[in-house]
Structure 1
Amino acid sequence: MKYNEFGRSGKQVSRLGFGAMGLQGVFGQYAEKELVHSVVHSLEQGVNFIDTARNYGDSERIVGLALREWKGEVPFIASKVQSKGPGNVGWGMPIPVETAYPKGWLRESTEISLQQLGVETIDLMQLHQYWPQWDQSAYWMDELLELKQEGKIRAIGISLPDQRHDIALPIIQSGQIDAIQTVFNIFDPLALDCLIPFCQANHVAVIARCILDEGGLTGFLKEDTSFEEDDFRKSYFDYMPRKVYMDRVQRLRDECIPQYAGSLAELAIKFVLHHPGVTTAISSMHIPHYANENIAAVDSTPLPDEVFEHIRRHHRWVRNFYESKYWW
């Protein structure tokens, strides 16, 4: 495993992190014991960054169980304040900050997270939703700064709701935040155009998410692949004919496998980690077998610069998932 300094924190975090969204069952149902084991297993392989959220059902509680079982050095824990927007709105288009995070809620949500995780301090607390209009109301930042001063959180971050990265540029430059979480993968490399270099210049950590495009960049999707009704991937992949997606994946496979990676998943991870401005990339590693493959990709031979640029330019295929999930 390789490590990077996390922004201005002075802490070293693994370049590949454990994305704990999968612990809530959105990618299939697993026994709690298996999920706890998956977290401990990744820690044993050198992963020391875990990203969870209050909004991820039992995820924080399961991470807490794993932390109590783990006997090694305590990993870097990142979580997110749950938005109170009715019906979980506020992703595709903005809502008032008073609706998403009413006064006092950031503290209340953080206290619940601390209890569920079984820790005294959370290394990074992020807003699960963020819109720049909210910067005109300083109370939410004041609440996070108070939690930081009290030692309940160590750093402040925001998670971008979709691909509109430019909305974060002013707050990055303000020096008020320590980290940005954003969508970044082979099909959606837009963060490279401006956001990642901007964060790098301002010493703000970048957490890349959806690095395997919810599994699509592993090549698992077939015409007859079925999903349970509560599986996140059902709506993610089926708002367009699957063949469109599968053809894109096949073209990537034909051009790059096995010349530059042993698998599509390895290629996707190597692509995301190629730019030094990416601090850590999170993947749902709730299945140990796949976790091992993902972790091995970190130490594999990096992509040649010219191959990285070719993929960035010629496999770019930006789709805003929220247009279908929340707007139609």
Structure 2
Amino acid sequence: MEKRKLGTQGLEVSELGLGCMGMSQFYGPRDDKESAATLERAVELGINFFDTADVYGVGHNEELVGKALNKFRDRVIIATKFANQVLPDGKRAICGRPEYVRSACDASLKRLGVDHIDLYYQHRVDKQVPIEETVGAMAELVRNGKVRYLGLSEASANTIRRAHATHPITALQSEYSIWTRDYEDDVIPTLRELGIGFVPFSPLGRGFLTGNLRELPADDMRRKVSPRFDDENMQRNQKVVDRLQEIAREKNITPSQLALAWVLAQGRDMVPIPGTKRRTYLEENVAAVKVQLSKNDLARIEEVAPKGFAAGGRYHDMSTVNV
């Protein structure tokens, strides 16, 4: 497993990270024992970059990750996030107020069982609070030794510029994959201009690019979140994934490995964090770092899955992304 640099402040991580959200919510029942084994196996395979958030399982994920990685603390980079709140009535809210930044960080440190957070993201931008105020409070955490590096998630190019002018931003985490490429227009060029790393989440298209999601139950979270998983859109999108599977088959790799290799090939400033809670899928994903895509391979992928091919929007509600 090679290393890649995120930002210009000194953070270096494994070229593939592990997204931990699914260990606590959304993708079926929890299995803490298998999740802990998956986290340990990731370290064995050379992954040192682990992504969680305070909202994942409403604290459960941070506790799980912190406990499993405790014995590897000096070898791993732990990233977590704040700003997505679950209110007492179950509704969600976004908060970037300085006092909340401080309290959320303290709560995450306690759940993780660590004395500092390596990379601390604002999970979603709060439209009611100037980004300078939020990042100013995050910068205090760095000065106080509670956080090493700062990040944003799903922020627009303008917000990134303003944030970076307040305190150096090390990484942006946003959705990016073969079927989600909207950040290529403005955000990724801005990141490269400013020397900020990019951490793509859902590089496997919430599982769709694996080729294994032919149909979904009516109550599946993905149907509730994204129009791309409506029946008609899934059928249209599946035709493209079938063609990607053909390319993968010719290269004797899985569709997942093709999708991850594509993201890795987009630049060494990108570190994708595919999520899984099972060792089998983890090992399959890690093997993608060995896949070399030629210019011809990339051209073929572009031909069968051109930018913007996906039928249906990324979310039903796009009001909290690219803010």
Classify 1:272/1:215 alpha carbon distance in 2 versus 1 (closer, same or farther; 3 Å).
Answer: same
**1:212 maps to which residue?**
204
After superposition, residues 16-165 of structure 1 pair within 5 angstroms as 16-57=16-57, 58-68=60-70, 70-71=71-72, 73-84=74-85, 87-89=91-93, 100-130=95-125, 134-135=129-130, 138-160=132-154, 165=156
What letter corresponds to residue 78 of structure 2 in structure 1?
Answer: I
* Native 8 Å contact 1:266 1:294 kept in 2: yes
Q: C-alpha separation between the residues in 1 aligned to 2:303 and 2:106?
A: 44
Q: C-alpha separation between the residues in 1 aligned to 2:128 and 2:319?
A: 20
What letter corresponds to residue 113 of structure 1 in structure 2?
Answer: S
Q: C-alpha separation between the residues in 1 aligned to 2:5 and 2:255?
A: 27
Classify 1:72/1:82 alpha carbon distance in 2 versus 1 (closer, same or farther; 3 Å).
Answer: closer
* Native 8 Å contact 2:81 2:121 kept in 1: yes
Q: C-alpha separation between the residues in 1 aligned to 2:298 and 2:186?
A: 17
**1:202 maps to which residue?**
194
Query: How big is each residue's C-alpha offset from its partner over 1:260-314, in whole Å with a ceiling of 9 and x where there is no partner?
Result: 45111011001000022433100113110000000011122x2112432443465
TM-score, normalised relative to structure 1: 0.85
2:221 alignment partner, one of 221, 224, 232: 232
* Alpha-carbon shift at residue 11 of structure 1 (Å): 3.2
Q: C-alpha separation between the residues in 1 aligned to 2:27 and 2:318?
A: 17
**1:307 maps to which residue?**
297
Instruction: Report the secondary structure of 1:321's partner residue.
Output: coil
* Structure 1, gaps ≥5 residues long: 91-99
* Native 8 Å contact 1:222 1:246 kept in 2: yes
**1:189 maps to which residue?**
181
Runs (4+) of structure 1 exceeding 3 A deviation are: 70-73, 131-135, 165-169, 324-327
Query: How big is each residue's C-alpha offset from its partner over 1:193-238, in whole Å with a ceiling of 9 and x where there is no partner?
Result: 3422331232211101110001000001123x437x4x53342454
**Count of aligned pairs:** 308
* Native 8 Å contact 1:83 1:101 kept in 2: no
Q: C-alpha separation between the residues in 1 aligned to 2:272 and 2:244?
A: 21
What letter corresponds to residue 74 of structure 1 in structure 2?
Answer: R
TM-score, normalised relative to structure 2: 0.86
**2:162 maps to which residue?**
171
Q: C-alpha separation between the residues in 1 aligned to 2:298 and 2:127?
A: 32
* Alpha-carbon shift at residue 78 of structure 1 (Å): 0.7
* Alpha-carbon shift at residue 18 of structure 1 (Å): 0.7
* Native 8 Å contact 1:42 1:285 kept in 2: no
